Amino acid sequence: MPSHTPIQSRIARGQLPVVRPFPSTDALFVDLKAGVHQICTPTVVQSARQRLLVKAVTICTLWIGLYGLMLAIGRDGLSVAYLAACALFAWADALVAMNVTHDANHSAMFVARRANRAVGFLTDVIGISSHVWRYVHNSRHHTYPNIEGADHDIDSGGVLRLSYDHPRRWWHRYQHLYFPLVYLLNFSAHNLRDIRMFVTGRVDQHTQLPHMTAGDRVAFCLGKLLCFLMLWALPAVVCGWTTALAGLAVIAVVFNLTLATVFQLAHIVPDALTPPEFCRAGPTNTWSEHQLATTANFATQSRSIGWLVGGLNFQIEHHLFPRLPHTCYPLVSDYVRTTCQDHGVAYVEYPTFREALRQHAVALRTLGRKD
């Protein structure tokens, strides 16, 4: 099970919703952990982290370069070339989020906590609070994926129905058609959610946000300021406010659609949907079995997709071992698959990105028409 604070302690402190805790015995995870530790020796993990660091430097250099290109082109005013440069920058923005900050915020990039936090601060610069992300994503989503009230990734405010535990409305019947429009705004909504949690000190009406130190508060405010300067203020000064506004719209569309699609393909697919009775009763299986029941891999044979999405196509391995650098996932996936089969636990995997996207639409259609 996760190596951070025990689940029941966090429930007692009001930092997790009251959901039935997982059984303390988890034979599948014992076998998985033993085998993965044999494969991922300290030398192997160190090498994987070095590859990840080279990749991170490459992506961040590209990110900075494309930002400069965007400003340089924008000095001549609004044009197709400027909007294309904005789209490329947004794509690089998403690469940073998936390949760099995601690992850092899982403490997977470095051994040192401060080094991970320093790189993780890039999440704040992009526009998403790393403090809020580490709690909402690491502690809640990674503990109870697809469980209503615990996993905020399935909470769309009623616009989409992503769980059988959500009330079904008439418009959900068409959600498999309009979901891309919702995803265009997804991570922009995270920015507003962060501010609400920061001001209220609560995740929702039942759960408080973990205590923020003075340093955490400074980092939160500084991140929002730098994001504002990078995405709006500096482009407005250099390119003019109308050009900057058009560019900001393109950046938001490309960034939001990319991240929302990649993250949702792992959990909102037919073979990973949480059954209605499971949603209402709470988990009855072990922690590792729940991760496998609610998570799917896709396109794991594609090196290019794996490189672009930061190993998020190996979501099963990521959920089981989130503190491993994503450059380790291809090394352990065969062992994880075989061990799951030996224990009679399904290992869900879609061969291509296109098939996973198709299955995501199928799942949305099912959720929109079935209670």
Give per-residue pLDDT as tens, 32-90: 999 999 999 999 999 999 999 999 999 999 999 999 999 999 999 999 999 999 999 99
Residue type, 348: V
Residue 312 phi/psi, 5-degree rounding, is -75, -5
Q: Which residues of 220-310 form beta strands (DSSP E)?
A: 297-298
Could you tell me what percent of the chain has a pLDDT over 70? Answer: 91
Give residues with Cβ within 8 angstroms of 195, minimum separation 6: 224
Does residue 3 surpass a pLDDT of 50? no
Angle subtended at Cα 296 by Cα 19 and Cα 342, rounded to the nearest 5 degrees: 90
Residues in the chain: 371
Other CB atoms closer than 10 Å to residue 227's CB: what's the count? 17
Residues 93-107 have a mean pLDDT of 98
Are 244 and 74 spatial neighbours (Cβ–Cβ below 8 Å)?
A: yes
Structure-model confidence comparison of residues 153 and 179, the more confident one: 179
Cα–Cα distance measured from residue 146 to residue 319, given in angstroms and rounded to the nearest whole number: 13
pLDDT confidence tier of residue 203, bands split at 50, 70 and 90: confident
3-state secondary structure of 352: coil
The mean-pLDDT minimum among 114-118, 150-154, 246-250 falls in 150-154
CA 134 centroid distance within chain: 10
Q: What secondary structure letter does DSSP report for 326?
A: G
In the structure encoding, which two tokens stand for residue 136, read together? Answer: 């909402």
**Average pLDDT across the chain, whole number:** 91
Q: What's the pTM? A: 0.91
pLDDT of residue 128: 92
The whole-number pLDDT of residue 200 equals: 92
Span between the terminal Cα atoms of the chain, in Å: 32
Asked whether the beta carbons of 81 and 243 are under 8 A apart, the reply is no
CB atoms within 10 A of CB 25: 8
Render 155-174 in DSSP notation, one character per residue.
--TTSS--STTSPP-GGGGG
Whether the CB-CB separation of 163 and 299 falls below 8 Å is answered with: no
Cα 188 to Cα 251: distance, rounded to the nearest angstrom: 10
